[in-house]
Every structure is written in C-alpha cells, then in structure tokens.
Structure 1
C-alpha cells in the first residue's frame, strides 16, 4: 500500500548493456514533470488573452457559465511571486484529496497491524490459487458497474488498498492492482449509461431527457469493459509466466516479501478479537456504501469515517492507543509522496485560473471545433474535451464549463446534443487516468506504490484502444444523427 522500496537492491534484474542504456533514458521525476507543466502554464498566461464567462445558477444549484457572455478582462499574467505561490495554493485547493489520501493510507496500516488483512489475504489466496486469473474480470465487472451507476471514480482509492495484498499474493504486481481499480472505474465512468456525474449532469445542461440514449452508451460500456479486461489479463498472464516482465518488478520487492503467503505452509488462525475486528470492519464498509449511495458522501465524509474505523477496529482487535497512532503515522509516511503530488499537480489549474485564461482557452477551443469538417465535428469535440481534461480533471467541473458552450455549438455545426455529451464523456473519462493533474488518480497510484511514469507505459496502449473505440462510436453517432 504505497510502500517504497529502498532495499530492492537485494532482488535486482540482471544488469546488462540494454538495462544500463534504458536507465539513462528514464523519464524525469514526477516533480520535474509537474514543475515543467506549471512553467508552461505560467508562460502561456503572457500570450493568451485574459477573459471570462459570467457564472449563473445551473442544474441542482450548481454554478455554470452563460455561453454568450464571454468577454475579455484586464490581463494578469503570472508573476514570479504568483508562480511561487501556485504550489502551496495547489495543495490547499486539493486539500480534500490530499487529506483523504493520508487518512486512507493510515487507516489501512492500522488494519494491517491488527492482522486481519493478512488473514483475509491468506484465505482468499488459498481459494483462488488455482484460478487466480478469474479474480481480474470478476472485480473489474463489479467495479465498472458500480462506477457507471454512481459515477465515483474516486472509489479506486478504496479498492486498491483492499485488493493490493491479494493481487501480490496471487503472483501479480502492483500495476495489476491499480489497473483493476482504475481501468474498471474508468470504463464504467466513461460510458456512464446511468452515471449522474457526467451523463446525467451533461444531459441536464444540454436540455436532454435524463439518461436518454441508453442503448448506445450501454453498448460502449460493454465493449470498453471487455477491452479493458482483456488488456489487463494479457499483462497478468505475461508476468505470471515470468515475474521479471513486470514493469514494477524491483519496486514490488518489499510487497512480495510482505504479502506472499501462498507459499506458506502455516495457515493463519484468527483469534476471537480478530474475528470481531473483521466483522466490525465489514460493518464500517457497509456504512460507507450506504453513505455514498444514500447521502452522496464524498472524500471529506469518507475521511471522517475512516478515522473512526481505524480507531474502533484497532481497539476491538486489541491494539493499544499508541499502536493505533503509530499505525496511522506509518500509513501517512507510505503515501506522503503521492499525497504531495496531488497538490503540486493542482498548481497548473491554479495558475490559469488566477490569470483568468481558463475561460479564454475554453472559448478558443469551442471556436476551433466549429472549423472542423462536418463529419469530423464530433471527433473535434472529443479532442477538445480530452485536452481540457488536462486542465480540469473533474467530470462535473468539466461539464459545467464546457457543455453550455458545446451544446449550442453542436446545433450550429450539425452534431446532435446527445453526440456532444458522448464526446464529453469520452474525452473526460479517458484522460482521468493518464494526466498527472488528476488528483484521485495520482493518489491511487501512491496507494498502489506505482510511479506515474511506469503507469503511463502500461496504460498508453489501452488508452489507444479505448480512444479508437470512442472515435468509432462518435462517427457512428454522427452518421446516424443519434439523438437517443
């Protein structure tokens, strides 16, 4: 769970000329990448005219924009002081994600100290040891369905710490654990046949009937989930045959030592207190599901619940208060890098918002779509939404800014509003687990202990497959003038 690997030298891959060469060509540290993105954003503020849209009340009391109100404002390019302050402002702005990352890391470390995670992993590993591949499609189908119904990709933050020990114990790696959660939730969120966050809100903003066009979205959902499952299974089979083919072979050294219970001849025997602690933990997860479904709980509410959960489960299992506190501290340390990255990534958006060029970029991208040939207009909308997702990696946030512009534009360029919403869904969803500006995504990688650079190497081929699938669906929707 976000464990780093300072001692991996004991278990290295054989070094050869090729490995030495590739090590010299490795990508820079994620901090360097994000710093460069922030510099580019700051430089952009000197060339892009400052402008803004008027904000008005939208569906469900959300603030959206008036698409006909764009006007220029006094330029305020990023000064050296503004640039310096963008990073702490980013940490503050992304505070809920940063805090949630720390809390969930701490809570699961407390659960590990109780021993109930090791017991659960031992039991499940022995159950699935002969059919370990089956766990991948089962979990991905469940996670994708949940996300398509309630629209919370952020649940990946809950899934990964739960499944990571099992995945490692079954002979796979941290990327498989991250992929099961991230790829499944992304497929469900992107197609979103009943997703209130992107489909529902987008259709309300465009004046469409809620959840209309279900058939085409359901087809997209099934195809994207199948593609995602087959892709993850292909990688899983490869590293099952040869563990050194794993992209995180060295990084997972400590986790393999910690979770590899499948070869143990001794079964874990739960004490009475551990059994009671397991039941208590399940009750808390039941409360979590109820809160998310019935009361729209999000990160702050879940963070509070996880604090109480760690304390109560720890006490029931027989941990002292000091052991519980140290468990939280160890968990905080294990996800420190990922939590900090979330805030640093937010600096890009902070720079553009403070310089008032975010709306200008939206306006310019909207104008660009209008110049695409008619048959490619829907594809142009997809490209625009994908690019904008780098700046605003939030489904609802992106909808509130772009749909009021794209929906009326669609009528002018011969694209149905239903197709415009689909282009938004595809563009928003696929970038959420690619761009380092996506807070929940970077936090999930931190919990899995996977570096962003290595995830990109794993995900890019699947991103290409999903992008191709999206373009095919958009072309079909454009040809048939799909309107649900």
Structure 2
C-alpha cells in the first residue's frame, strides 16, 4: 500500500522543519540564556573605572577584585532585551532611517538612476564593478570607521548585481566585505585606532603607512575572493548559495531633469556626510539626523509630495524591521553579562591567558583574544575603552610595542564583525539581503581564514620590526 497523500505531505513538512536553521531571534535568545547561566558559574568581579585622556570612562588594569556573586534572575533575563534596545538605540534608529531614506530615494527614482549609470559604465566588463565598489566602500570605512553603511549599500547595489547575472550573496558580500576591510585597516578610524592610541599614549593616527599596506592587501584579497564567487555563479547559476533569482527585463526608464538634479543632490549630500564624519567626528545619532536630510532633500527636488515621502519612509521601515530588532536583541547578551558582573572577570581571565605566551606568540594571542571578546562586546570604541588599558601595559611587560598591540586590537575587532551574530549592523545587512546566517557562514569562512592568516603575518612583521 502506498503512503496516504496527507501523510506524505506531513512527512515533507517535518523534513523541511528539520533542515531549517533556527531563526536569528532564537539564536540570540539561546545566547542570552547561556550568558545568564554563566553568571551562576563565573565569579563576579570588577575593575575600577577612571577617566581616559579624552574624558571618557575606562578601566584601571591593576584594580581588579572579586565581589559578591550576583547571578541574574528571570526578570533580569526578560528585561535584558528592552534594556538592550535602549542601549542600542542609536544603531536601531540609524537602521530605520537608512531603510526609510533609501525607500524614499527609490521612489524618487534616484536609486534607479544610479544603478542605470553604473550598469552603463560597466556594461561591457561587469566584473570590474565588484573590485571598484569594494575599494570605494573600503576607502570610506577606513577613514570614517562606519561599516554600518553596509545597511545602506545593499539596497543600492542589489538590483545592479542581479541585472549582471550575479546573486544576492554577491551584493551582500560587496556591501559587507568592502567596508569591513577598510574598518579593520583603520587608517584614521576614530572608533578603534583613534581611541586606542589616545588611551595608550601613542601619537594620534601614527603608523598610517603600514596600515595603508594592510588596507590594500586585505581589500584586494576580499575583492578577488568575491569576484571569483560571483563569476562562478554567473557562469553556473545553480551553484548560487542564495538560489537563482531572475532580475527580470529592465523596464523603460528615462530620467528627467528633476531626477538628475535629485541624484546630484543625493551624491553631494553623501560626500558631505563623509566630510562631516571625518572633520566633526559625528556619532551615529548625528549621522542618522543627516540621513533624514539626505533622503528628504533629493525627494523634494524630484517632485515628491509630503504624503509620498512619508509613505515611502514607512515602506522602508518595514523592510529593515527585523534588522533593527536584531541590533537590540544582540545587545542584550552584553546586558546580561554586565548585570551579572562577569564581564570584567572575563576580561581579567583573558588578559592573564595572553600574558603566558612568549612575546612573538603574544601578538597572535592578543589578536585571537580580541576576536573572541568581540563576540561579547561588538563595539569597537567600547572594546577599546575596556581592553586597551589592559593590553597597553601588558604589551610593555612582554616586550611588544604599543603600536603593535593596537594593531592586534583593531584587526581582532574588525574581521569578526561579519561573522558573529551579536554584531547588530551585520545581522541587519543580512536581513535586508534576505540571507540566512548559516548560508553566509558557508560563504565567508574561507575568506575569514585568509584574512586571519594575513593578520598573523602582518603582526609578526610588526613585532619583528619593532613597529612604533
């Protein structure tokens, strides 16, 4: 006898459920619970906080002491998510604004205009657009330290990549790997190199020459890797990690004078954003406010009325809702660790492990320690304020220059931002791209290993040369 149709359908549904990867909310919820349980096992401890050279709070590395155990309860675990939302408010708002702004620009046909111009420029050699975009995005991030702009790039380049026969993974890779390569090389990144050098007493933005070499090498490695994948997918669409997706025939499009002026205004506003972030050291709240103007001004020039602009913002908010929520939920992991007072204990333990290695291995140990710590504190500036007061004197003890210790810090912080699911903007970008985290890991892990191998080589060279 054959299996009844309804049973066959039920079996198929069960098999599909077994193959599905857990939702990102579930993954983060498990992490929150694990950290809550850890507060019952890991001893509580704390460092004294002192004022940094620029007036910000940092820890005194010689002040660690055990304190009374304070495991978190059920109410604390449940309230960690809204608390995380509160603490991650700047990036959540930035995510919403970025989604809204680009929905407005799409409605104003500004995005369409940019895509058509790029498509026309590279119509005969589409492969060139991948390294060009990656070096542009990397260059922006290495100066202003904002890989969060990945959230902005995806809606712009996704239609273009599909029109060239590439896939959504290619678009996400360009938007994430380019900026993170620049953020990691950090020529004048104020959030990692700037704060670290001030805390460590190293001249501000010194060592830029060696970091420039790092910038070109790791960006080139990423560009070649992404290009190789993209060209393989274009030749064999069935091998795409995100599935075959037809771009569809391009509709007729003719940009009027108002749309062209709106496009010019949007480009000018974006260039102004880069300049203001570099000159005024804007934070994410200021950037989000500027982004509102970046969306509204071109829309008005293009001829959109107030209702159209408002409705477009609403559509954009819907598109990035999951990504914005992920930012706050991811932050809840650190909230639980802080409430249970185990964060400083973890820092203390890591610093002691690193100090046990010979100096030529300590640089690599610093790198991997910082990478691990980035899982718990996915914030470059936050990590600098926590770790550099420990790593700087530790470098003196084991015979490593402070400049090299800073390099280990910002490389360890950088690459892992597009691997760990606690990185809010990273998960938001994947959500906008509609790419599951497990499929992204399948794509990125080989490149991540190449990057880390290059990082170890760069650190060994810096240590051997006594880079300062």
Q: Same fold (TM over 0.5)?
A: yes
Which of these residues, 304, 318, 333, is aligned with residue 333 of structure 1?
318
Match of 2:140 in 1: 146
Match of 1:120 in 2: 114
Match of 1:45 in 2: 39
2:323, 2:424 within 8 Å by CA — same for their partners in 1? no
Q: Distance in 2 between matches of 1:22 and 1:473?
A: 45
2:338 equivalent to 1:353: yes
2:46, 2:65 within 8 Å by CA — same for their partners in 1? yes
Match of 1:482 in 2: 466
1:59, 1:201 within 8 Å by CA — same for their partners in 2? no
Which of these residues, 349, 371, 379, is aligned with residue 364 of structure 1?
349
1:51, 1:357 within 8 Å by CA — same for their partners in 2? yes
2:292 equivalent to 1:298: no
Match of 1:269 in 2: 254
Cα deviation, residue 188, structure 1: 1.6
Pairwise mapping of residues 65-464 of structure 1 onto structure 2 (< 5 A)?
65-249=59-243, 252=245, 256-257=247-248, 261=250, 266=252, 268-464=253-449
- Alignment partner of 2:418: what SS? coil
Q: 1:375 to 1:272 in 2, by over 3 A?
A: closer
Give the TM-score of the pair, scaled to structure 2.
Answer: 0.91
- Alignment partner of 1:64: what SS? strand
Q: 1:213 to 1:116 in 2, by over 3 A?
A: closer
Q: Distance in 2 between matches of 1:127 and 1:185?
A: 23
2:115, 2:156 within 8 Å by CA — same for their partners in 1? no
Match of 1:32 in 2: 26
1:193, 1:217 within 8 Å by CA — same for their partners in 2? yes
Q: 1:297 to 1:157 in 2, by over 3 A?
A: farther
Q: 1:213 to 1:310 in 2, by over 3 A?
A: closer
1:87, 1:343 within 8 Å by CA — same for their partners in 2? yes
- Alignment partner of 2:33: what SS? helix
Match of 1:470 in 2: 455
1:418, 1:482 within 8 Å by CA — same for their partners in 2? no
Give the TM-score of the pair, scaled to structure 1.
Answer: 0.88
Gaps of 5+ in 2: 1-13
1:121, 1:169 within 8 Å by CA — same for their partners in 2? no
Match of 2:5 in 1: none
1:411, 1:417 within 8 Å by CA — same for their partners in 2? yes
CA RMSD of superposed structures (Å): 2.4
Deviating more after overlay: 209-218 vs 122-131: 209-218
Q: Distance in 2 between matches of 1:198 and 1:114?
A: 37
Cα deviation, residue 220, structure 1: 2.3
Cα deviation, residue 118, structure 1: 2.1
Q: Deviations over 1:168-193 (max 9, x none)?
A: 22222222222222212211221224
Cα deviation, residue 103, structure 1: 1.3
How many aligned positions are there?
Answer: 458
1:30, 1:453 within 8 Å by CA — same for their partners in 2? no
Which of these residues, 53, 65, 77, is aligned with residue 59 of structure 1?
53
Q: 1:342 to 1:47 in 2, by over 3 A?
A: same
Cα deviation, residue 67, structure 1: 0.9
Q: 1:97 to 1:194 in 2, by over 3 A?
A: closer
Cα deviation, residue 215, structure 1: 4.1
Q: Deviations over 1:103-147 (max 9, x none)?
A: 111111122122232233233223312111111111212222222
Cα deviation, residue 246, structure 1: 1.7
- Alignment partner of 1:59: what SS? coil
